């Protein structure tokens, strides 16, 4: 069975049907891009998947368990990570302490943080920081990090929870093109190596085509196409509503 199975998910805001009977599935280790024009309903989908927003109807099965109706923190505990929408870091702590804090939280040991921050899970924190290319900055306060480095740190914080699925709504927003490519390369590498599935949105189509296994196109709350990069590039309806030409 698929890791994630979404069925007829829907959400209206007043008279606006933001998400209209969306159904899709996501496999283990798969990078799935959700693309579409502004206002298509992408963020609304993400917010229902991570429990921030109540769905009007539908079902989201994650590893066979229903996520709809569960609290965000319980969804997080089941192994659904999200990044970048909320700044999940503490400015006055060092980079390493932020990851240690996330590891303590994951292991249910948060109360020991204040006493034993300097050594608990230090080696694992360093492994994660190395994985995201941030080990050389481990002792810096995270409040002084450059924007792109903060995003790498947030990725390490998300990975500390041992997620099997990462939800990334515009992870590269606000980044320079080069940084964008580097971040998504990193995410794609982690997805493959650690068998983490990723559902992400991204406006830069070069990045999307390079780093997704499959794409879904959302328009006015409905999925109008699903397939490989080639399928999507050659789809007439997608060209009309999103890609242009
Ligand atoms: P996307 O992320 O694809 O740009 P959104 O999911 O943010 O799209 O928005 C989909 C539609 O729902 C838009 O018409 C938007 O104005 C509307 N919408 C989103 N969030 C809210 C909200 N909290 N209250 C009212 N309308 C909203
Ligand atoms: Mg959005």
CA of 41 to the centre of ligand 2 (A): 7
Which residue's CA is the nearest one to ligand 1's atom 14? 39
Contact between residue 171 and residue 158 where contact means Cβ atoms under 8 Å apart: no
Which ligand sits nearest to residue 39's alpha carbon? 1
CA of 131 to the centre of ligand 1 (A): 34
Substitution candidate for ligand 1 out of 39, 46, 221 with most atoms within 8 A of CB:
39
ipTM comes to 0.98
pLDDT at 86: 45
Tell me phi and psi for residue 105, to 5 degrees. Answer: -60, -45
pLDDT at 112: 66
CA dist 47 and 49 (Å) reads: 5
Share of residues in the chain with pLDDT > 90 (%): 68
pTM of the model: 0.93
Closest CA to 153 of 173, 176, 175, 130: 130
- The atom number, within ligand 1, closest to the CA of 46 reads 6
Helix (H) or strand (E) segment spanning residue 184? helix 177-194
Spans of the chain below 50 pLDDT: 85-86
Rg of the Cα atoms in the chain: 18
Residues with CB under 5 A from ligand 2 (ion): 42-43
pLDDT tens for 161-177 read 999 999 999 989 888 88
């Amino acid at each position: 069975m698929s890791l994630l199975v979404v069925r007829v998910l829907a959400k209206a805001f007043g008279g606006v049907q933001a998400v209209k009977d969306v159904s899709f599935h996501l496999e283990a280790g798969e990078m799935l891009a959700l693309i579409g024009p502004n206002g298509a309903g992408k963020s609304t989908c993400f917010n229902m998947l991570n429990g921030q927003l109540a769905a009007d109807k539908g079902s989201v099965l994650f590893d066979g368990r229903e996520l709809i109706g569960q609290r965000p923190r319980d969804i997080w505990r089941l192994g659904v990570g999200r990044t970048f929408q909320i700044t999940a870091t503490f400015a006055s702590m060092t980079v390493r302490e932020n990851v240690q804090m996330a590891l303590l939280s994951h292991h249910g040991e948060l109360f020991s943080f204040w006493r034993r921050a300097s050594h608990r899970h230090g080696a694992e924190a360093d492994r994660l920081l190395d994985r995201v290319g941030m080990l050389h900055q481990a002792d810096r306060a995270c409040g002084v990090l450059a924007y792109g480095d903060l995003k790498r740190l947030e990725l390490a914080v998300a990975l500390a929870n041992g997620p099997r699925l990462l939800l990334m709504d515009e992870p590269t927003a606000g980044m320079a093109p080069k940084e964008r490519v580097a971040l998504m390369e990193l995410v794609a590498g982690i997805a493959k190596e650690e068998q983490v599935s990723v559902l992400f949105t991204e406006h830069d189509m070069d990045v999307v085509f390079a780093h997704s296994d499959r794409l879904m196109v959302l328009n006015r709350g409905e999925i109008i196409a699903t397939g490989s990069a080639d399928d999507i590039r050659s789809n007439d309806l997608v060209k009309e509503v999103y890609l242009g030409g």
